[in-house]
Structures are given as C-alpha cells and as structure tokens.
Chains A and B, each alone.
Chain A
Amino acid sequence: MTNTDGEAVLVERAKNGDMKAFEDLIKITSGRIYNLGLRMLHNKEDAADIMQETYIAAYENLPKFKGTSSFSTWLYRIATNFALMKMRKEKGRKVSEERLKDISKNLYNTAINDWTDSPVDHLKKQELKTALDKAIESLPPKYRSVFVLHDIEGLPIAEVADILSISKAAVKTRSHRSRLYLREKLSEYFKESGVKNLIRT
C-alpha cells in the first residue's frame, strides 16, 4: 500500500458524508477488489458482484471502521467474505479435507518428477491456466481463500490471518496443503500433456 495517508484522509472525509471522497476511495481500491474477486471466482460477473456488494457494505459500515487495520485490509476482509459466500454456493465437486491432509503424508510413496524445465510457450500457458484454475476451483473455500490471498495476492501470512480471522498457524497449514495439492495437479498436467517427461530416479 503506497497510498495509506491519502486513504486515511479520504476515509475521514467520507465518514463526514463526503460522497466524492468515497468515490475516490473506490477509484483507488477497485482494481484490487475486482481482481480479488476474479482470482477467487474466475468469472467477471461474480467479480463485479463482489465489488459492488463490498462497496455498499463498506459505505454502510464506514462509521464502524476504526482504522485499527488499514482501509484496504478492511475492504479485503469484506470482499473475501462475499467471495466465500459465493464459493459455498458453487456446485462443482471439491476435494475433501481428508485428501488434502493425506497428500503430505503420502508424499513419501509418490514419484516426484521435476517438470520445472518443461517449456511453456504462449499457447501452452493458456492451457496451463485452464488446468490450474480448475484445480484452484476444486479447493474447498477455506483453502482457496488462503491460497489466493497469500500466493496470488501476495499478502503476508499475518495479514491473511487478520483478513480471515484465523490464526497464523491455520494460514500456514492451509497454504501448505493447497500448494501441495496444486503441485500434484500440475504434475499430472505435465505428465499428461507429455511436454517433456523428465525421467528421474
């Protein structure tokens, strides 16, 4: 956040009923909020819905915003809650928590190929995105939200814990399991697409 001071001034003005100041806050933060929705739901309409719900809720709750966390963290928290509600209504099958727990236990008996040298050209990249999105979507909401906030948004563990109101230890566990699961899915993808099967023993 480069603009925290400016944000704080705008928040004060918006609290005093300055509609233009609130619109400026939307202008400054909408990129992040829209993309958060896009990254969680992979769909423009859902991202637009989440953005709208977030700013309406923010406007209504502005008097309750005490500034203990930054305005953008507060917005992230609201937006993440709306995203979680949408995820919970999704019909697609989710991987079970049991299975996510087992991945790290079973790693010892799994073949591990290093596919990091496989070339990924422009066309392959789109295909890879599709495979990855499908895998991300199959993560249960409480794992997907951690993965998106921590690894895609790039937020530190403490901030993710704050946004989701969970402990840092829970963020770490969910992050680790999500990464291992997605790694496994990507390994399957590289194996199937046969980009270059590195044989390692």
Chain B
Amino acid sequence: MDRYFSCKDIYRMLSGYIDDEIDTMVREIMEEHIKECERCLSLLHTLEKTIVFSRETHRRKKVPERFVKKVYYEIRIRYKR
C-alpha cells in the first residue's frame, strides 16, 4: 500500500476522520500527513470547531408548556371517543 496521501486526499477524508469512520491503518497515514502539514491541520481544527460551535449554539431548549397542551388538545378533539 502506498503510504502517502496528498492534501486533496486528506480533504476528502476529513469528515470520515472526525466521525471515526476510517480504518486504523489509513488513519495512521492521515495522521502522518496532518502532523507535517499546517494547512490540513488548520482545516481539521476549523472543521471540528464548526461542529462544536453548531452544537453549542443550538443547545436543547425547554418546550413551552402551551405548545404541548395544544397538541394534547388537538388530538383529544380529533380522536376522543
């Protein structure tokens, strides 16, 4: 196996890397590249941070009670026998 990846190869695989969907052996070759390549490292960091920010800014909010009550009500008037 060719133990070398170009930057373009890395770009394609970064999400798989983040999702842990890459085989250990391929992962190791990726890591060798990233360690030496500042661009790919920055790309990995910013891509990971994009996901972290997306989660942090969309934390779960409490459902307003009135919305749940409305659902109960709508179902009761439709289906109550």
Chain B binds chain A: yes
* Inter-chain contact total with CB atoms closer than 8 Å: 120
Select which of A27, A59, A182 is within 8 A of B50 by beta carbon: A182
Q: List, in ascending order, chain B residues with CB within 8 A of A88's CB.
A: none
Measured CA separation A181–B11 after assembly (Å)? 13
Is A85 in contact with chain B by the CB < 8 A criterion? no
Q: Is the CB of B72 within 8 A of A23?
A: yes
Bits for B29-50, please: 1 = Cβ < 8 Å to A, else 0: 0000000001101110111111
List of A residues within 8 angstroms of B42 by Cβ: 112-114, 200
| Range, interface on chain B | 35 or more
Among B46, B51, B60, the residue within 8 A (CB) of A115 is B46
B15 touches A183 (CB 8 A): no
Q: From the candidates B51, B54, B64, name the one contacting A44 in the complex (CB within 8 A).
A: B64
Contact with A along B5-26 (1 / 0, CB 8 A): 0011001101110010100000
Whether, in the assembled complex, A70 has its beta carbon less than 8 Å from a beta carbon of chain B, the answer is no
Which secondary structure characterizes the binding site on chain A? helix
B1: Cβ under 8 A from any A Cβ: no
Q: Does A19 contact B (CB under 8 A)?
A: yes
Please list the residues of chain B having a beta carbon within 8 angstroms of any beta carbon in chain A: 7-8, 11-12, 14-16, 19, 21, 38-39, 41-43, 45-51, 53-58, 60-64, 67-68, 70-72, 74-76, 78-81
A sample of 17 inter-chain contacts (CB < 8 A) reads A17-B81, A19-B75, A34-B61, A38-B61, A48-B70, A52-B74, A59-B78, A59-B79, A104-B12, A112-B43, A116-B45, A116-B46, A151-B51, A172-B16, A176-B14, A179-B50, A183-B46
